[in-house]
Structure 1
Amino acid sequence: MAVQTGLDYMRSRTQIDCDTMNDQVAKSLGPFQDCTSNQAIALGELSKPARAEVTVASQADAKALHSNYSSIGVEALAVEIAMVRLAVGMAKHIRGRVHVQVNPYYSHSSEKIVVNALRIVQLFQHVQPGFDVTRICIKIPSTWEGMMACRTLQLAGVHTLATTLFVDNAKLLPLCAAIQRYYKSINARTEVLPASLTSVEEIFLLAGADHLTISPVLLTQLTQPYVGDVKSLFDIEATLPIPPRDASFINDPGNYQITFTRDQGGASQIKLTEAINIFCDAQDKLELLMKGPL
């Protein structure tokens, strides 16, 4: 009888996504459901000498297509094309969707986010004509404007993921289970996807989440035999209350903003701002990379 690995166990409980744009990881450690990414992940991949062809091709495409997308700079367009090229390369090695994140500089403009998302969908058709649009998921920072853009895009048939990168010593892992229980209680189609996990112990605690996206380092660690000494938060009685069903901020942005600003004494607002800054820094470096010689 084959030894069950940690990755085998997690796949029996949760849809496992790969948090990388390195297709070799998908080939060697798959199968995976989705492929998640962001500007920081794209920067790490495009900085590799082996990806120089992707950069050069994206620069050339951006110059050729810029007249169609003149509202943004050539370098910003080249970044989007490069991320799409990486995503198309990953799509053949996964079963589900490839995630591409919008330009983080648009985080506080619903209109710009929607335009950016639709442009990304169009760029998939340029890079690979006939690409199945249902396999595209647009990642959007979870500002108020971002979540309203998610709503608009979902109504238009474009899959979205509200995302934020939190770097925090005070882990809120139990919140993942509480949020998922809430969505199930209101029969929502929204799924929970914890990310930025830092250890296999955290991963095992979240067995049972709708999705988990895992970095290559932790995926490799999960190939070790599964010991089974960590109890999932999804297997214990809920310790956080489920909000009332009628709680909604969808038509009340002012109330949402002040509630979010007051959450955890302002910590949530600070973490969101830090996350956007991290992504903007990576965006800047990607655009600088695209300014290189063609």
Structure 2
Amino acid sequence: MSPVKSWRWKYRFMVSLSLTLVPLITGDIHVMANPTLQTTKQFVENAQRISEICTRLQPSFDESRLCVKVVATWEGLQACRELTSLGIRTLATTLFTIEQAILAAEAECVYIAPFVHELKAFFDETYHDGEPILPLCVQAQRYFEQHSYVTRVKAAGLLSVDEAVKLAGVASLTIAPNLLHTLSKSEELESQLADRSLFQEKAMLEGQAVEHTTFIDDEAKFREAFAKSAGGKGQIKTAQAIEIFSEYQIKAESMMRDPDLTRIG
């Protein structure tokens, strides 16, 4: 199989799998752009191909429901900016800092997905992430509201029910089935749960405010601020998350090279 045909088959398979959810949900379907890519042009072309495959596989599909997940690097977020102008909706993933959130909002991403915990915590049982970034979800949502950005916070990477309760009030939430099941069995009153939320008015007012700033046309300014954020930890967490996603991308590509699988269909 030629490299081009192999690439098309891999994304056809992935998009086809995502499209099976369309009749089952009322919201968006999310498809991740290849995290191993490096340049803005590559991310843009990748997202365009994903959109094209959606239309080819299911001509009746409402493309406004497609949201392409793009890594929150300078190159990835500049791609989101261009994709927005092309009518392709985006989500900024692998996001751990307010600087990334601000640039994503300027790029008019539909969502940002702050990872409460480092991705490593989900793949290495011996690793303990002692610094969950719950406050960033509050800080980013407050910033978007204060400065009239359309971008919404879609928190991800939770490890406990308590963390889910603390994020009650976030615009959107990715939550694992086991945590959702536990929450469904809770007998606490809604008011009791609300009191534990970081999004309560008092907590919001006491949260650290961020003055309006801009990074969209200043790469050097963004890179410097991002590198310094949380003493450099945000940059390290982002790189680690991209590395993990890339590893699984490569594994998926390897699986797609299996002759028995590629002969299907």
Task: Give the TM-score category using the shorter length.
Answer: 0.7 to 0.9
2:209 is the counterpart of 1:242: yes
Could you say what secondary structure the match of 2:159 adopts?
coil
Q: In structure 2, what is the Cα distance between the partners aligned to 1:226 and 1:100?
A: 36
SS at match of 1:192: strand
Shift of 1:266: 1.5
Alignment of 1:52-201 (within 5 A): 73-106=4-37, 108-164=38-94, 165=115, 166-167=117-118, 168-201=129-162
2:227 aligns with 261
Identity %: 36
1:33 is matched with none
Q: Which residue of 2 aligns with 1:20?
A: none
Q: Cα deviations across residues 206-228 of structure 1 (Å, max 9, x unaligned)?
A: 11111001122222222213414
Q: Tell me the secondary structure at the aligned position of residue 162 of structure 1.
A: strand
Query: What SS class does the counterpart of residue 151 from structure 2 fall into?
Result: coil
User: For 1:209, what is the secondary structure of its paired residue?
Assistant: coil
Q: Is 2:171 aligned against 1:210?
A: yes
Structure 1 unaligned spans of 5+: 1-62, 67-71
Correspondence 1:21-32 to 2 at 5 A: none
How far apart, CA to CA, are the structure 2 residues paired with 1:92 and 1:117? 22
Alignment gaps of 5+ in structure 2 = 95-114, 119-128
- Hey, what does 2:218 align to over in structure 1? 252
Give the aligned residue type for 1:194. Answer: A
- On the 8 A contact 1:175/1:240 being kept in 2, the answer is no
Q: Which has the higher contact order (CA 8 A, sep 6+)?
A: 1
Alignment of 1:27-38 (within 5 A): none
Partner AA of 2:168 in structure 1: A
Distance 1:201 1:143 in 2: 30
Give CA deviations for 1:53-100 in whole Å, capped at 9, x if unaligned: xxxxxxxxxx6xx7xxxxx64443322212211111111111111000
CA drift of 1:183 comes to: 0.3
**Residue in structure 2 matched with residue 283 of structure 1 by the alignment:** 249
SS of alignment partner, residue 31 of structure 2: strand
RMSD in angstroms over aligned alpha carbons?
Answer: 1.7
Q: Which amino acid in 2 is paired with 1:290?
A: M
Pick which of 113-122 and 257-266 moved more.
Answer: 257-266
Corresponding residue SS for 2:131: coil
Distance 1:88 1:194 in 2: 23
Give the residue type in structure 1 aligned to 2:218.
Answer: D
For the residue of structure 1 that corresponds to 2:188, the secondary structure is coil
Paired residue secondary structure (1:249):
coil
**Partner of residue 197, structure 2:** 232
**Residue type at the aligned position of 2:197:** S
TM-score (norm 2): 0.79
Moved more, 185-194 or 122-131: 122-131
How many residues matched? 223
